[in-house]
Amino acid sequence: MSISERTPPIETKFPTMGTTIFTVMSALAAEKGAVNLGQGFPDFECDPRLVDAVTEAMRKGLNQYPPMTGIAPLREAIAAKVEAIYGRKYDPVSEITVTAGATQAIITAVLAIVKPGDEVIVLEPCYDSYVPNIELAGGKVVRVPLVPGTFRPDFPKIAAALSPRTRAIMINSPHNPSGTVWTRAEMLQLQELLAPTDVFVISDEVYEHMVFDGQLHQSAARFPGLAARSLIVSSFGKTYHVTGWKVGYVAAPAALSAEFRKVHQFNVFTVNTPMQYGLASYMASPEPYLQLPAFYQRKRDLFREGLARTRFRLLPSEGTYFQCVDISQVSDLKEAEFCKWLTSEIGVAAIPLSAFYGGGFDQRVVRFCYAKKDETLRSALDRLAKL
C-alpha cells in the first residue's frame, strides 16, 4: 500500500487576516527604491558600548539558559529605573519579568488574564497585535475609538463600554500611531473610572522615553490605583535603538506577575542570556534613556520643519517617533491608495491610519516614522517637496 503525501485541511483561527500593511508597504518601498518612513524602526546604529557589553558577556561564557524570569542584575536595574523615574517600587524578584520583546509581553499578558468570553476594551487606532491576541485567548474585542483628529481618550465612550464581562482595557501612551501622550489628568480619570471595577489594565509604554516639549511620561506606575491592577510593558528595543534584539519587560504586582509567568514559562520560557547581561551593564548609566527625549525631539523638529513646506496638515507629535499628517489638501485618494501612490510616484513610504482600525476607518491621515538618520529624513523631505 502506497501512502501519498497529504496535508490535512486546517480551519484558520484568523479567516479575515491577510498580509499586514507594514509588510506590503515595506515590500513596495524596496521595489520602488523609496525612502521607507513606513515601518517603525531606526536606520542608525545603537551605542557601540551596548554591543561591547553584550559581546563581553558572550566571551565570558554567559551563553546558557538564564532564569525564567530574567537575570537578577537586569530585573534589579529595571526596578531601580522605574522607582527613580515614576516613584513606584517593584520587587525585582516577584514583580519584574524580562520578555522576548514587548509584543511577546502583550500576548502573554492577555493570555494570562483573559478567559473565553471575557471582554477586553481596545482604544482605536491601536497597534495591530492587540486584537489577534485577545481573539487567541477567546476574548471578545470591544472597540472604543479615540477622539478622531486629536486621538485623546473619550471617557464617556470608555465608561459606556464597561460591562460586568469586561476583563481588561489596553492603553498605549505615548501612542502608536498618533504620537499622542496621555496627560496626568487623563490617567487620573482612568484611575477613577476603574476604581469600583475589577478591570485589569495592560499598559503599553514602549515609547516611555520619547516624550517631548518638557512633558512627563505619565506611566501607570505613577498612579497607585492603576499600578495595582496593571501589567506595564516596555521595550529595550525602542529605548536603545535595537528593535531586532526583541527584549522587553513587564512590571506588575506579585499576584499578576505570578499569573503572567505561568504563561511566559510555556511561551518563550526565557530570553537570550548575553543580551540580558549586556543590557544590565549598560543600564548602570541612566544617561542614554534620559537623553532620548531631546534626541528624538530634534529629529521631530527637523522633519516637521520640512513637512511644513508641503500641503500636508501636520498633527501634533507629542511623543513616540511618529508624525501623522492630514492629506486632504494633497490628494483625493483614500489613505491606503495614497500611501501606495506616494511610495510609487514620489518615492516615500508611509502607513495609512486606517490600518490601525478594525473597520478601516479612513480620516485622510497617514503616518510617517522619523526614527531615521538626518540624511534619510532630508532625502524624504526633498522628495515630498514635490507635493
Q: How confident is the model over 155-207, as pLDDT tens digits?
A: 999 999 999 999 999 999 999 999 999 999 999 999 999 999 999 999 999 99
Q: Find where cell 527604491 sits.
A: 33
* φ/ψ of residue 60, rounded to 5: -80, -5
Asked if 133 and 245 sit in the same domain, the reply is yes
- Looking at the predicted structure, is the pLDDT value of residue 301 above 90? yes
Q: What per-residue confidence (pLDDT) applies to 4?
A: 86
**53 and 129 both lie in a single domain:** yes
φ, ψ for residue 250, nearest 5 deg: -125, 130
In the predicted model, is pLDDT for residue 218 greater than 70?
Answer: yes
- Asked if 255 and 358 sit in the same domain, the reply is no
CB atoms within 10 A of CB 337: 13
Digit-coded pLDDT (tens) for 62-83 = 999 999 999 999 999 999 999 9
How many structural domains compose the chain? 2
231 found inside a domain: yes
Q: What is the pLDDT of residue 25?
A: 87
Q: Are residues 229 and 321 in the same domain?
A: no
Q: At 304, which CATH number?
A: 3.90.1150.10
Domain that holds residue 300: 21-40+290-384
What is the share, in percent, of the chain residues with pLDDT greater than 70? 100
Query: Hey, what amino acid is at 227?
Result: A
216 Rama class: left (phi>0) / alpha (psi -120 to 50) / beta: beta
Q: Tell me the one-letter amino acid at 263.
A: V
Average pLDDT over residues 295-310: 98
State the average pLDDT for the chain.
Answer: 96
Answer yes or no: is 215 within a domain: yes
Which of 284, 318, 336 marks a domain boundary?
284
Q: Are residues 338 and 237 part of one domain?
A: no
Could you give the C-alpha distances from 278 to 59, 80, 90, 181, in angstroms and in order? 12, 17, 22, 30
The mean pLDDT of 332-357, rounded to a whole number, is 96
pLDDT digits (tens, 9 = 90+) for 16-41: 887 787 888 889 999 999 999 998 88
Q: Give residue-wise pLDDT tens across range 133-145.
A: 999 999 999 999 9
Query: Could you tell me the pLDDT band of residue 374, with boundaries at 50, 70 and 90?
Result: very high
The whole-angstrom separation of Cα 262 and Cα 105 is: 13
Q: What is the pLDDT of residues 227-240, one digit of tens each?
A: 999 999 999 999 99
The closest of 195, 212, 202 to 167, measured between CA atoms, is: 202
Cell numbers placing 370: 522619523
My answer on whether 265 and 378 are in the same domain is no
Same domain, yes or no, for 240 and 256?
Answer: yes
Nearest 10 degrees: CA dihedral of 84, 62, 246, 207?
Answer: 10
Three-state DSSP class for 291? Answer: coil
Give the burial class of 290: count Cβ atoms within 10 A of its Cβ; 0-12 exposed, 13-18 middle, 19 or more buried.
exposed
Residue 14 lies in a domain: no
pLDDT of 361 reads 93
Q: What is the CA radius of gyration of the chain?
A: 21
- Say if residue 131's pLDDT is above 90: yes
Residue 221 near residue 86 (C-beta atoms within 8 A): yes
- Strand 119-124 relative to strand 140-145: parallel, antiparallel, unpaired? parallel
| Pair (313, 370) in one structural domain | yes
CATH of the domain at 251: 3.40.640.10
Residue where a domain stops, chosen among 284, 317, 347: 284
Which pTM value belongs to this model?
Answer: 0.96
Residue 61 lies in a domain: yes
* Whole-number pLDDT of residue 124: 98
83 with 54, same domain: the answer is yes
In a domain, 12, yes or no: no
Both 32 and 131 in one domain: the answer is no
Whether pLDDT at 2 is above 80: no
How far is it, in rounded angstroms, from Cα 104 to Cα 191? 26
| pLDDT for res 300 | 98
Assign 3 a pLDDT band (cuts: 50, 70, 90).
confident
Same-domain status, 29 and 103: no
Q: According to the model, what pLDDT value does residue 21 have? A: 79
Pairing of strands 322-326, 313-314: antiparallel
Whole-number pLDDT of residue 87: 98
Residue 23 is predicted with a pLDDT of 85
Cα distance between residue 40 and residue 237, in whole Å: 11
- 121 within some domain: yes
User: What's the average model confidence in pLDDT over 378-387?
Assistant: 95
Q: Which of 231, 264, 284 is the last residue of a domain?
A: 284
Is the pLDDT at 1 greater than 70? The verdict is: no
198/301 same-domain check = no
Residue 11 lies in a domain: no
Asked if residue 5 belongs to a domain, the reply is no
